[in-house]
Structure 1
Amino acid sequence: MGPSGCRKTTLLNILAGRALNGVTDKITQVEQIIDQLRIRKCADTPIMFISGGEKKRVNIGTELLMNPSVIFLDEPTSELDSTSAVSLMDVLRDLAMQGKTIITSIHQPSSQIFQSFDQLILLADGKTIFMDKPCNALPYFATMGYHSPSQYNPADYVMDLVSQDMKVREQLKEEYLQNKITKHVNTISNLLQSQYLLAEPSGNEADLTNPDNVNLIPNKHESKWPIRFLSQMLILFSHAFFLTGKRQFTFLNFAQALGLAFISGLCWLRMDFSEHTIPDRSSFIFFLMTF
């Protein structure tokens, strides 16, 4: 409830998931993104006359117009000076604080940028050698005998470490794999202890390695999947239709699909299951794949 112009209709459109209509709404959204990315001073400047950091923000702004929940960035700080890189990462940090997921690749950041990430995945030869918070990177490698010098950029030390010879990289990959296996084993063990019933354990602790001490709870699902295949197809088809229906399933596309189906049905109707009809079937498959 409210007087005229208090945005009651706008609220209903938001609740209904309707897209913004009209020039005014679109301009308002653009203005909000300009202020959000801190590029107000170059809003009326041609793209060729702005700096590299501002170009990066403009590229991000074009993606934000679609209001994505996940944003992928490939080395956004490349070719930027340290000040511009930190400023850009501050903008991305603000977007993350607003509930958006920011996934970015980065080569060799400064210590300030390195500590600004929530999670870090370190790769070597296409394999993961570390996945945790950045503040845990140096203590993790220290447990393997690789100690970082004092007053040293953690990102530089980590990059130097993964650039060592093949023997060091193989050791790092093997250590991460073993730690991951150990973590999964502990998780499964805790899950077993919470889901299995122990029958008359001997001593103070139950021996989970002895099958006689464990009563398994019957499996609730006999099939591999909790729902049937047709139900999965129906859910996925409905989801795809909801996402692309307004854009793809127009009247013209629908009429075109019916026309092509009618023509293909007339041309390849009632073909025999014989060897001489193989070229005809190949033509039919090619026709379907083309259109």
Structure 2
Amino acid sequence: MTSSEEKDILNGITGSVNPGEVLALMGPSGSGKTTLLNLLSGRLMEPTVGGSITYNDHPYSKSLKSKIGFVTQDDVLFPHLTVKETLTYAALLRLPNTLTKQQKEKRAIDVINELGLERCQDTMIGGSFVRGVSGGERKRVCIGNEIIINPSLLFLDEPTSGLDSTTALRIVQMLQDIAEAGKTVVTTIHQPSSRLFHKFDKLILLGKGSLLYFGKASEAMAYFSSIGCSPQIAMNPAEFLLDLANGNLHDVSVPSELQDRVQTENSENDTANGKPTPAIVHEYLVEAYETRVAENEKKKLMAPIPLDEEIKAKVSSPKRNWGASWIQQYTILFRRGIKEHRHDYFSWLRITQVLATAVILGLLWWQSDSKSPKGLEDQAGLLFFIAVFWSFFPIFTAIFTFPQERAMLSKERAADMYRLSAYFLARTTSDLPLNLVLPVLFLVIVYFMAGLRMGAGPFFLSMLTVFLSIVAAQGLGLAIGAILMDLKKATTLASVTIMTFMLAGGYFVQEVPVFISWIRYMSFNFHTYKILLKIQYADISPIVNGMRTDSGFREVCALVAMVFGYRLLAYLSLRKMKLHFGA
């Protein structure tokens, strides 16, 4: 059930941050920190958001993304690429097209040195099942992906989340170094240690979407003491501020004005609790800020700081600034796709699975004879299994493609690293050479062990048929994954689809009822099976297992149509998710 009721997530936020400064956005969970950060960085441009985002009175434009870096809370990186490869690909895709490939690669090396990643530059990033760099190094790589474009503004969402205090301190010190180089740094942070808190130049404290404090971080404690809220025991300043933002006044002095409000509310509600509720505390803090600080801060912000001509041109230009041409984007993404996914395609588990199946089939159909009707029927069963196996295997591999890479695609498209068409074509074609190796090994073993029709022509035609079936099945897997973007749903739908195709493929049931017989013409199993029968037995019998071994032209056309049709469907499905990918 959906509600059309509007909700104010952020209300009356005012603040400023200058080059050379680090601004921290603090507040409890649900206070609006990430929403504010996404709005400021241009990542959240939904039509339901009221108001406008301007940079020194200039409206936000897509070209401005080239001067803004955004580091997400989650470390979205490819696990099988090394640190150097990750940053090099980012440089090749994001740096201006005016730079040469060598200059872009040098910039990647410079960032590695700047972030202190030299020791692990040739180590894989790693992930859940792949050993790689440490958590702090992963976060530095994520930051490196953004500072590689030398941004004027750098936004970070919870950069210290999940890190120990020492590693978190190193990250914040690194942010200070970036700011001191003339950059403007804005970061959300949940509950920093006292050492971290004192590293920030400015602070915005949010509570339920409202501004409770903006100013120098070093003056925050003095401000809250001035309105009667000060800790009664030694406390981490960040912990004290978050308690206030949550309306929790344990171990905190209660100002007389707030105490009067509590007594008034108690008398009106006929209660004698005597403790201020979080709602009353929040209301008091918001009013205190608005009456004591807000007006002065707003006056300071009335006169915008003049921008230099280069940034002004970028801000006012509505065009995107692609770092590489379409062909370059495709080439870079193709190379990256092969490097990242070769580990999955050539894992020992997959190789063992394919080779073991091939040997078992070879032994079961060892030197089978197609001259007798019984032998021919047995061989037809083998051909049907090959057609099913090399549609079943790739479809379930392809299903994972887009759901697993959704976060990466979202992040990179939001940064305008490449066109969706270049990514899609590179992602779907980089799998083709990887998809060819194991089927060749499989067919070499099965073909000669089973004693299928000898000769270079029949063998290579069988190989081409299997490869065409693989690419068609892969297309269906890509389409299902792109449409549903949910692995459980996609796997279920693919299982039902492949089972239906298999049953309608003409081997188990030759006399398929008329009302469902049309399904076989959508089945790549059916078309692959017919072509394989044609290759093996066209000279022996015109009909095998009830199947007519005709020219095979229609079956080839049907498979080719599936290869392109399913991929087009997958691409259009990704296009429809435009808003989700920040395109």
TM-score (norm 2): 0.30
> Given the alignment, which residue of 225, 230, 244 partners 1:142?
225
Question: Could you say which residue in structure 2 is the equivalent of 1:117?
Answer: 200
- C-alpha deviation, 1:104, in angstroms: 0.6
> Given the alignment, which residue of 36, 43, 56 partners 2:121?
43
Distance in 1 (alpha carbons) for counterparts of 2:185 and 2:315 = 28
> Given the alignment, which residue of 203, 209, 217 partners 1:126?
209
Residue type matched to 2:213 in 1? F
Contact 1:110–1:155, Cα closer than 8 Å, also in 2: yes
- C-alpha deviation, 1:182, in angstroms: 4.6
Question: Could you say which residue in structure 2 is the equivalent of 1:239?
Answer: 317
**Which has the higher mean CA deviation after the structures are superposed, 74-83 or 155-164?**
155-164
Distance in 2 (alpha carbons) for counterparts of 1:155 and 1:80 = 17
2:246 pairs with 1:163: yes
> Given the alignment, which residue of 83, 91, 99 partners 1:20?
99
- C-alpha deviation, 1:240, in angstroms: 2.4
Contact 2:202–2:216, Cα closer than 8 Å, also in 1: yes
Gaps of 5+ in 2: 1-95, 127-131, 248-277, 304-312, 327-575, 577-583
Distance in 2 (alpha carbons) for counterparts of 1:27 and 1:171 = 54
Q: Deviations over 1:87-128 (max 9, x none)?
A: 111111100000111111000101111111111000000001
TM-score (norm 1): 0.58
Question: Could you say which residue in structure 1 is the equivalent of 2:405?
Answer: none
Residue type matched to 1:171 in 2? Y
Contact 1:123–1:130, Cα closer than 8 Å, also in 2: yes
* Bigger relative contact order (CA 8 A; separation at least 6): 2
Q: Larger Cα Rg: Structure 1 or Structure 2?
A: 2
- C-alpha deviation, 1:20, in angstroms: 1.8
Question: Could you say which residue in structure 2 is the equivalent of 1:59?
Answer: 142
The 1:151–1:244 alpha-carbon spacing in structure 2 relative to 1, beyond 3 Å, is same
Distance in 1 (alpha carbons) for counterparts of 2:299 and 2:153 = 31
Residue type matched to 1:19 in 2? T
> Given the alignment, which residue of 287, 303, 315 partners 1:174?
287
Distance in 1 (alpha carbons) for counterparts of 2:296 and 2:223 = 14
- C-alpha deviation, 1:39, in angstroms: 1.4
- C-alpha deviation, 1:179, in angstroms: 2.0
- C-alpha deviation, 1:18, in angstroms: 7.3
Gaps of 5+ in 1: 1-16, 192-234, 249-289
TM-align CA RMSD: 3.0
Q: Deviations over 1:62-84 (max 9, x none)?
A: 11222211111100000000000
Distance in 2 (alpha carbons) for counterparts of 1:245 and 1:64 = 15
Residue type matched to 1:20 in 2? L
The 1:35–1:26 alpha-carbon spacing in structure 2 relative to 1, beyond 3 Å, is same
Residue type matched to 1:178 in 2? T
- C-alpha deviation, 1:40, in angstroms: 1.3
The 1:62–1:238 alpha-carbon spacing in structure 2 relative to 1, beyond 3 Å, is closer
- C-alpha deviation, 1:180, in angstroms: 3.9
Contact 2:198–2:218, Cα closer than 8 Å, also in 1: yes
Distance in 2 (alpha carbons) for counterparts of 1:19 and 1:89 = 33
Residue type matched to 1:26 in 2? K
The 1:118–1:247 alpha-carbon spacing in structure 2 relative to 1, beyond 3 Å, is farther
Distance in 2 (alpha carbons) for counterparts of 1:169 and 1:178 = 14
Contact 2:152–2:184, Cα closer than 8 Å, also in 1: yes
Identity of paired residues, percent?
38
Contact 1:138–1:148, Cα closer than 8 Å, also in 2: no
**What secondary structure is seen at the aligned counterpart in 2 of 1:132?**
strand
Distance in 1 (alpha carbons) for counterparts of 2:323 and 2:117 = 35
User: For this pair of structures, how many residues does the alignment match?
Assistant: 187
**What secondary structure is seen at the aligned counterpart in 2 of 1:53?**
helix
**Which has the higher mean CA deviation after the structures are superposed, 56-65 or 173-182?**
173-182
